[in-house]
Structure 1
Amino acid sequence: MKFVPRSEETRQFIIEKTAAIFNKKGYAGTSMSDLTAATNLTKGSIYGNFENKESVALAVFDYNAKKKNKFEDEKLALAPTYKEKLMVYAHIFCQKDALELMEGGCPLLNTGIESDDTHEPLRKKVGEELSAWKKKIQAILSAGIKAKEFVPTVDMEKFALSVIALIEGGIFVARATKNKKNFEVILKTVEDMIENISLVKN
């Protein structure tokens, strides 16, 4: 029998109130008492809207990933050229509004590290988000090549995966070392990559 939540409004409330907790503490580290404390709801109220803790975690990941994507898309929409759109990725993740938005760090990185060997449904969701991100960057590259902004010989898949790896790796290094400067140094490599394929020089 398919599970039906008691209230979509309450369900969304639970997701929003527990989003930062799951992103900071992870699936294994988040307890039911964490959820009841964050929402001021009883265990029964939470389980009336979710089958179990796993279903809360999956819904929260979707919520956090959607917030990240919306933030990126809004910044990309403001960039007038394809080169500037790519440069968005070299700048936005160390900005104050990005740090405030993704409380606890990047949900893809946090969830991916925890779930790769321990929680297949969450790992799968992270993989799908990374694949969608890769396709988004490849689409910018393809459009930029047609607009004669980028060299036509660029390996779009390699470029996109490298940008993602540098960003996610940079976030990891900065958080592990407690040194934001390390992230800025790594993002400079993203800038250099973009300049190297650009036919439009500043």
Structure 2
Amino acid sequence: MLKGENTRKHIIAKSAELFNQRGYAGSSLSDITELTGIKKGGIYRYFASKDEIAVEAYQYAGSIVGSKINEALDREPTAMGKLLVYLRVYENVVEAPPFVGGCPLLNLATESDDGHPVLREQARQGLARTLDAMKEIISEGVQSGEFKADLNIDALATFTLSVMEGGIMLSKLEGDNRHVRMNIENLTAYLKGMCLRK
């Protein structure tokens, strides 16, 4: 790998941690230079703007979390287990989140909702990808006979993601994993009610 490519990846990785902990608005270019040890001119050699760094940083953070989710999904034989993976990856969100600072999608969506169209579009795409992945799991569960045939796939995906993100937000805010853990228990009970095979 070329030195320039390594430097660019270093900027993205460190910026991803910074933005996911402090937010886009709460992070300055000076913070990035301090964290990376690269001067402003060096940063601009690789990126045209802070926006460009933020987009790539979010994609990087999302890929790290996505890899951890995919690894856990590979170990789950049932559709119910696969849906619960999304919450279980965040079971210890306070002490040991899958990416420093918590859920990149939740953090970006919360911050970019009102004022930043470029980042809002990144969050919107992340939302669509996550819901699509959940809908595919649910659809496979219906086709295999695990879930009831008349299940509203779209509604269950939305509900699952809402329970996940709500639990993360409450646990991070309170500094206690109990909200995510309670949501895992309650979603498990709810999903059992959707199953044909108990």
Question: CA separation in 2, counterparts of 1:200 and 1:149?
Answer: 6
TM-score in terms of structure 2 length: 0.92
Measured after TM superposition, the shift of residue 100 of structure 1 is 4.1
CA distance in 2, matches of 1:199, 1:92: 26
- Give the structure 2 partner of residue 180 of structure 1: 177
Q: CA deviation at 1:181?
A: 1.1
Structure 1, residues 51-87: CA drift from partner, whole Å, max 9, x if none? 0111111110010111111111111011122232223
Counterpart of 2:6?
9
Which residue identity lines up with residue 42 of structure 1 in the other structure?
K
**Which residue number in structure 2 is paired with residue 61 of structure 1?**
58
Kindly indicate whether the alpha-carbon contact (under 8 Å) linking 2:131 and 2:158 is maintained by their aligned counterparts in 1. yes
Structure 1 letter corresponding to 2:84:
M
Find the partner of 1:113 among 91, 110, 116.
Answer: 110
Q: Following TM superposition, by how much is the alpha carbon of 1:17 offset from its aligned partner in structure 2, in angstroms?
A: 1.8
In structure 1, runs of 5+ residues without a counterpart are: 1-5
In 2, are the aligned partners of 1:86 and 1:194 still within 8 Å (CA)? no
> CA–CA distance in 1 between the matches of 2:179 and 2:78?
28
Q: Could you tell me which residue of structure 2 aligns to residue 146 of structure 1? A: 143
SS of the equivalent of 1:10 reads helix
The one-letter amino acid paired with 1:36 is T
| Residue type of the alignment partner of 2:134 | I
CA shift digits 1:110-155 (9 cap, x unpaired): 1111100011111111111111111111111111111111101110
RMSD over equivalenced CA pairs, Å: 1.8
Distance 1:16 1:92 in 2: 20
* Aligned residues of 2:131 and 2:157 also touching (Cα < 8 A): yes
CA distance in 1, matches of 2:126, 2:142: 24
Does residue 169 of structure 1 match 2:166?
yes
Letter in 1 for 2:51: E
CA distance in 1, matches of 2:123, 2:169: 16
- When normalised by structure 1's length, the TM-score is 0.91
Match of 1:34 among 31, 34, 39: 31
AA of the residue aligned to 2:140: A
Do the aligned residues in 2 keep the contact of 1:90 with 1:191 (CA within 8 Å)? no
Q: Distance in 1 between matches of 2:97 and 2:173?
A: 18
Structure 1 runs, 4 residues or longer, greater than 6 Å off:
none
Give the secondary structure class of the aligned counterpart of 2:46. Answer: coil
C-alpha distance in structure 2 between counterparts of 1:174 and 1:187, whole Å: 13
Question: Partner of 1:50 in structure 2?
Answer: 47
Q: CA deviation at 1:184?
A: 1.4
1:193 aligns with 190
Structure 1 partner of 2:83? 86
2:17/2:101 contact within 8 Å kept: yes
Partners of 2:87 and 2:61 lie apart in 1 by 21
Report the secondary structure of 1:15's partner residue.
helix
Contact 2:83 2:160 in 1 (8 A): no
- In structure 2, runs of 5+ residues without a counterpart are none
CA contact (8 A) 2:65 2:99 kept: yes
For this pair of structures, how many residues does the alignment match?
Answer: 196
Do the aligned residues in 2 keep the contact of 1:138 with 1:160 (CA within 8 Å)? yes
